[in-house]
Structure 1
Amino acid sequence: MTSTTFRIGGDLGIRRLGFGAMRLPTEPGPAREASLALARRAVELGVTLIDTAHMYGWGANEELLAEALHPYADGLLITTKVGIARSASAGEWSHDGRPDSLRDQVENALRRLRVERIELLQLHRIDPQVPLADQLGALRELQVQGKVGRIGLSEVTVTELGRAREFIDVASVQNRYSLLDREHEPVLAACEAAGIAFLPWRPVAGAASGAAAEVAAVAAELGATPAQVSLAWLLDRSPVILPIPGTARIAHLEENLAAAHLRLTPDHRDRLDRLAEQA
């Protein structure tokens, strides 16, 4: 039977099906109020893993989650990401893995989230212009200081993951991955072998649009939606996968979370597994 929980870093227990907060509107007004209500509803429904980042609204997403959920329920993990900066002149984003910048972003995240320690901090992107040892060394120093609990990575290759593990204990990897997009299958395999949490972003890409007839057929047989089938497949695919589907609608949130109770038969799994070759 598919496990519904996972221990990140071997000790931080969470429910595997989480929530990605990137899509939540943060501007003042009715849209923000709806975002606050949705974040609270996610926790009411049992979500214990919420993903955000400095890049999502340049801190506004972190502030929104704190307004909605602080003081945080016991066992609730809000993971954030650093390492992306915005140009003051053009407003465009770029990598920024300079140690001083990483430390500054972490301090700001602690303030915005209203916490003294970020239990899981992920490097949003490896900065190709900064030595990896310097980037990870800065995060490791923050970990030693007690400001960071566990360190993860995002959008890395197997080689980059291996190099990073020479400097830190990698607790998680957040790469693009879904039923119809398995480019990072080797990274998933490496994470599974090492017991590293794998957080796929865009976890229902393609299937949710109805583009895959086979996914739609399986969904019809199960009385589910293509998105639910895609999430159920991910949960079944590997015990280290922690999907973080995002939405700005409560009905869609409830639909996504119901996927945790969807059971695929061996025939369904075989048919869905073969879609990677067709895609």
Structure 2
Amino acid sequence: MSKSILSILLFLIATNILAQVGIGTEVTDPNIILQVESTPLKGTSYNGGLLFPRLSLSSTVVFSPATGTPATGLMIYNTATNGAGETAVIPGFYYWDNTDSNWHRMAQKNASATSMFSNQDTKTDINSGSGIYADLFANVRFNNNTSLYEKVNNSTLRINETGYYKVILNLDLASDGGADNFGIEVVVNNTDDIVSDNIYIPGRWDSEGGEEAYFPNGRSFIIYVPINVAGHTLRVKTYELDPGTDVYFKNPDTSTISIEKIR
């Protein structure tokens, strides 16, 4: 008799194991395998969350410190900032994909993916020859994610995550000649044709003339920039269209560039 009861109990336990699992709830949805609720159970007063395994990855192409056979869909929270270029990792959720043997970071869009920089130089003629890289990254107005936006020098920013970025240029300019025009473009990884549409900036001239009467020439632009490889650089290049007139940033810290990851 006792053996029969034990067999029935074991059968019921096995059936329960194969059925839906509920954590934080006594009632589970029949259509799901695992259901987690934060509603306190009887006799408790706490609310909790789901904590994923936390690992320190060294690269997107290195499975360790995870162990065992790599499985597509395995998800962890990476705690480290490591590597460089397209295999670099920054803190966040990652999942493993066996199709390319890579960790892929899950998309996260929030205020931490925004930064703004400004100029310092007011002496360099940015309407000169085939191209001048503007010092628009000289001053850091704010950078809420230094792992994502890495300042290389005054004219270069490294972006350590693939995605689509909104770049806003606000330029405070002055010139010492009339009817001048010059161009500006956003350059990704020193390749001019990544962002194909160059911006044409018409010049303006103070009819009263004279060095003391530079006419203010403000311009604002929004450009959407794809970063297809993590670690690619972003630069702003100005180039000459009408020779014979110098164009400068009018004042230090008044021309800005802001970058926001939108997806």
TM over 0.5: no
Q: Indicate the structure with greater strand content.
A: 2
Give the TM-score of the pair, scaled to structure 2.
0.20
Q: Indicate the structure with greater helix content.
A: 1
State which structure, 1 or 2, has the greater radius of gyration over its C-alpha atoms.
2
Give the TM-score of the pair, scaled to structure 1.
0.19
